[in-house]
Amino acid sequence: MSEFSHLDKEGKATMVDVSGKQVTHRTATARSIVVLPPEVLEKFTADDIQTKKGSVFQTAIIAGVMAAKKTGDLIPLCHPIGMDNCNISIKINEQQELVIDCTASITAKTGIEMEALVGASVAALTVYDMCKALSHDIVIKETKLIQKTGGKRDFKRS
């Protein structure tokens, strides 16, 4: 990529014109990492954290899917698209961090990576919201694109 795609010839913000693009099947996976302090981790049982508000992970999954569906409303120059699928998984890794993966897919003229990134991000924010009563020391460490397929070129983070 040598130029920003959302700037016109005069350097002004614009939505990318996808009218000439080919329809292809596109997928994207994004990941957010959440670091939980010990006082939150000790509440972890049976693959989830239960609160008075309910299941932290199930609520985060639902929030992430809902957010991914609203990406075009949240990111100003993003195309509003109808996703074919959105799946969010939450696991604890060897470093005792939450790994939130959001995989989204669509058959369309434009990509789905922003939807995956928004889904993973909002799921992470939901974990924070539901656990902040135990500690404000929760850190959303990173959110990144892991891979995408379809469109001009595929991408896979090594």
**Structural contact between residues 102 and 120, judged by C-beta atoms closer than 8 angstroms:** yes
**Structural contact between residues 148 and 154, judged by C-beta atoms closer than 8 angstroms:** yes
Residue 33: phi and psi, rounded to 5, are -110, 130
Cβ-count burial 79-107 (b if 16+ within 10 Å, e if not): eebebeebbbebeeeeeebbebbbbbbbe
**Structural contact between residues 89 and 106, judged by C-beta atoms closer than 8 angstroms:** no
The residue from 101, 129, 137, 154 that is catalytic is: 129
Examine the residue annotation and report whether 129 is marked as an active-site residue of this protein: yes
Between the CA of residue 138 and those of 57, 59, 97, 151, what are the distances in Å?
15, 17, 10, 36
Which residues are catalytically annotated? 129
